Structure 1
Amino acid sequence: MKQRDRESAPAALGVGLIGYAFMGAAHSQGWRTAGRVFDLPLRPLLAAVAGRDSAAVHAAAERHGWAAAETDWQALVSRDDVQLVDICTPGDRHAEIAIAALDAGKHVLCEKPLANSVAEAEAMAAAAERARARGQVAMVGFNYRRVPALALARRLIEQGRIGALRHVRLTYLQDWLVDPDFPLTWRLERHHAGSGALGDLGAHIVDLAQFLAGEPLVGVSAQLETFVRERPLLASVSTGLSASGGPGRGEVTVDDAAVFTGRLASGALATFEASRMAPGRKNALRLEISGEHGSLAFDLERLNELHFHDQLEPAATAGFRRILVTEADHPYLEAWWPPGHVLGYEHTFAHQARDLVMAIATGTDPRPSFADGLQVQRVLAAVEESAAKNAVYTPVPAPRSAVTPASGTPAGTARTEAQV
């Protein structure tokens, strides 16, 4: 490299990843790719990855391109070559790691849901607010916001193309728990995961509803169900015996499915369904948003398409039309391929990395923020409370600030429980 090129090259942003399984691999892909596709003011550098299993974390570092491996997350946080900590652990570690990283002067990206409880999420949001005063940023990894078709849907709603919202319908269905002999992994234990399909899948669709609508949910009415209440212990699956030496099954302490209705601050109605017990559905996230002037529809299995109906068109030609979201002026598409050359799931993580790097470089607040993550956590808690009371309408506590984290809508515009 010539001297002039070295002087003009963007400064490095050292990234440290904690957790290397499914989400860790997805985030690694995003960090590897973002700086090679987008013209970024900072250059993401894969400094180190951390995990408890030494052999496994070193193998992950080699596979995904991390320069170093650690078996202690605290050692990673304290590294001088790490300026941003990316948290991809089970939910029970999010608060401890995120607060420590923020207090150590690092930027933070934390996978969803933000925490396992509202109290943890409040502590994380408070730590992020303190860190923001020092110039640090913190963001939650709701990657579906970075699907170009959904970013376009948000733009169309902001532009008033479908008018005032009336209905928001979202479902997120998977089938990996249909087999009653699927083992008892950490995602099925409340002390690790916080909740089941509600937090794993429901958090995504709650965030999408509030992101697309540009306003918060103010109340819910819910039902939760655990269809398979005991599953084989992991030791039983691998050896035929439990950890105690005999065949064993353990209790599932989270939900398999969640169904709930909600009301947005404007009065629009919302319906949600999240399940990991839907045979044939692998990763089926679908939504439809209806307004006074039209509707938008999206299916994650057709990720590059957004369907739009303009109610103001003449009836003779009106109807849902397919928008292939691959044009250069569509969100995120300016850096990718010619029109018609579609993107995939993994690209959302490159877009996520791009947006966070831009926020760090420009000193702006990234979205979704920890305050946004806290708002989602409050909705999830209200869903659980409502289900415990047999679908009694449960208000979502309003943020303490004068502006809602979901959209910037004045909190005073939300309807009270008596008005709903």
Structure 2
Amino acid sequence: MKPSIGVGMVGHAFMGRVHSQAWRSVSAFFDLPAVPAMAVLCGRSPERTAEAAARLGWAAAETDWRRLVERDDVQIVDICTPGDSHAEIAIAALAAGKHVLCEKPLANTVAEAEAMAEAARSAAARGVRSMVAFNYRRVPAVAFARRLVAEGRLGELRHVRAQYLQDWIVDPEFPLVWRLSKDRAGSGALGDIGSHIVDTAQFVTGQHLTGVSALTETFVKERPLAEGAEGLAGGSRTGERGLVDVDDAALFIGRFDGGALASFEATRFASGRKNALRIEVNGSKGSLAFDFEAMNELWFHDHTLPDAEAGFRRIVVTESGHPYAGAWWPPGHGLGYEHTFTHEVKDFLEAVAAGTDPEPSFEDGLRVQRVLEAVEASAADESRWTVVER
């Protein structure tokens, strides 16, 4: 019998449901050193939390995250709350000796992220591990892209293009949910989806951004108050509207420490695009391209071939030799969004058991937070070139 390791999760909305699926399924597909036990789920409403715990497979429910952290049957704390509570929960959990998996972006500010990274460093010295949940690293095609770059198949990297395109708030009557409030979310499209493409680009290239020049825009500046919106002016009352104080879109150029140029685009106003995280990397020996809306495919161009054979070719990333794919279905039977989170908790559990620091670390999350801060500073100062703090 393998040992079990108790998990307590804070938050049970969108991310909570996805993470619950990962904790439920991971042991069925991966041979792990310890089996996760879904000990307790935490939320603010007793009724909704109890219902979610029963539906999602958690053994118990709590309404105070502090009690969850104190429980003896919890060794891992999984944070799936809005960004304004990440730092407080994570720092307290690490101090209590609990391993921490925290949703992205790591925090709402660089100061919070610095405090979290410092707490993670201190905890690691005591054998307590932490990881930030940038799940797109765990798409098999993205992990395979990283392998191709690391093997030198693209040669010297010269140009990176990264986009994250969505359209879920194009309608100006879409309500003022928490993701559109700076107090809760920290920023808008920039932090929510822009953080993903910053991390994905740095992961695939193995390089870090050193400077940016940016533009941001809020296209719809007022919206109807959300029905029963927690933390937003008491919820909706007929005809009342609230201020949108985060960005709807962010565009910026940047330079990597390896010399490559980069362009980034994060928007919730790309009509017709639902979840189009895209990245293209061009190098001296080849190029690769990925689009999450076709997540089982990677396009690769080998520029060392003769001209008569040149061109992008489509690789279906479902073979047993591809990252993660061999644990699932026969080749050609594609994976989905939820599998990236299963891969995430698999890697996290293996690192905890091995006593090694999982990736992406809180330090990696802090690096992304510094880029987001530089983008906001540049956009506020007429797109001035802004150095990313190291």
Deviation for aligned residue 1:337: 1.3
**1:273 matched residue in structure 2:** 265
Contact kept in structure 1, 2:144 and 2:322, CA below 8 Å: yes
Contact kept in structure 2, 1:236 and 1:248, CA below 8 Å: no
**Code of the aligned partner of 1:383:** V
Query: What CA deviation, in whole Å up to 9, does each residue of 1:209-242 have, x standing for no partner?
Result: 11011011000000000000010112499xxx98
Which of 324, 327, 336 does residue 344 from structure 1 map onto?
A: 336
Q: Does 1:106 align with 2:98?
A: yes
Q: Does 1:179 align with 2:203?
A: no
What are the residue-to-residue correspondences of 1:31-110 with 2, within 5 Å?
A: 31-110=23-102
Unmatched 5+ stretches in structure 2: none
Deviation for aligned residue 1:392: 0.6
- Using the size of structure 1 for normalisation, the TM-score is 0.91
What are the residue-to-residue correspondences of 1:146-225 with 2, within 5 Å?
A: 146-225=138-217
**2:309 matched residue in structure 1:** 317
Deviation for aligned residue 1:272: 0.4
Contact kept in structure 1, 2:279 and 2:289, CA below 8 Å: yes
Contact kept in structure 1, 2:177 and 2:226, CA below 8 Å: yes
Distance 2:280 2:313 in 1: 14
**Code of the aligned partner of 1:293:** K
Distance 2:331 2:310 in 1: 25
Contact kept in structure 1, 2:4 and 2:37, CA below 8 Å: yes
Deviation for aligned residue 1:94: 0.2
Distance 1:371 1:250 in 2: 35
Deviation for aligned residue 1:334: 2.3
- Identity among equivalent positions (%) equals 64
Deviation for aligned residue 1:380: 0.2
Query: What CA deviation, in whole Å up to 9, does each residue of 1:25-50 have, x standing for no partner?
Result: 00001111111100000101111100
**2:289 matched residue in structure 1:** 297
**Code of the aligned partner of 1:90:** P
SS at match of 2:191: helix
Q: Does 1:16 align with 2:8?
A: yes
Unmatched 5+ stretches in structure 1: 1-8, 399-420
**1:3 matched residue in structure 2:** none
**2:388 matched residue in structure 1:** 396
What are the residue-to-residue correspondences of 1:356-375 with 2, within 5 Å?
A: 356-375=348-367
SS at match of 1:169: strand
**1:6 matched residue in structure 2:** none
User: Runs (4+) of structure 1 moved beyond 3 Å?
Assistant: 241-246
Q: Does 1:353 align with 2:368?
A: no
Contact kept in structure 2, 1:236 and 1:247, CA below 8 Å: no
**Code of the aligned partner of 2:303:** Q
Distance 1:236 1:86 in 2: 26
Deviation for aligned residue 1:247: 2.5
Contact kept in structure 1, 2:318 and 2:326, CA below 8 Å: no
Query: What CA deviation, in whole Å up to 9, does each residue of 1:256-289 have, x standing for no partner?
Result: 0000000000110010000011111111111110
SS at match of 2:311: coil
Contact kept in structure 2, 1:91 and 1:192, CA below 8 Å: yes
Deviation for aligned residue 1:336: 1.1
Contact kept in structure 1, 2:226 and 2:236, CA below 8 Å: no
Which of 112, 135, 138 does residue 143 from structure 1 map onto?
A: 135
Deviation for aligned residue 1:244: 8.7
Q: Does 1:30 align with 2:22?
A: yes
**2:241 matched residue in structure 1:** 249
Q: What is the count of residue pairs matched by the alignment?
A: 387
- Using the size of structure 2 for normalisation, the TM-score is 0.97
Q: Does 1:264 align with 2:256?
A: yes
Distance 1:274 1:101 in 2: 32
Distance 1:209 1:243 in 2: 38
**1:115 matched residue in structure 2:** 107
Distance 1:164 1:310 in 2: 13
SS at match of 1:234: coil
**2:279 matched residue in structure 1:** 287
Contact kept in structure 1, 2:18 and 2:341, CA below 8 Å: yes
Distance 2:315 2:41 in 1: 39
Deviation for aligned residue 1:120: 0.1
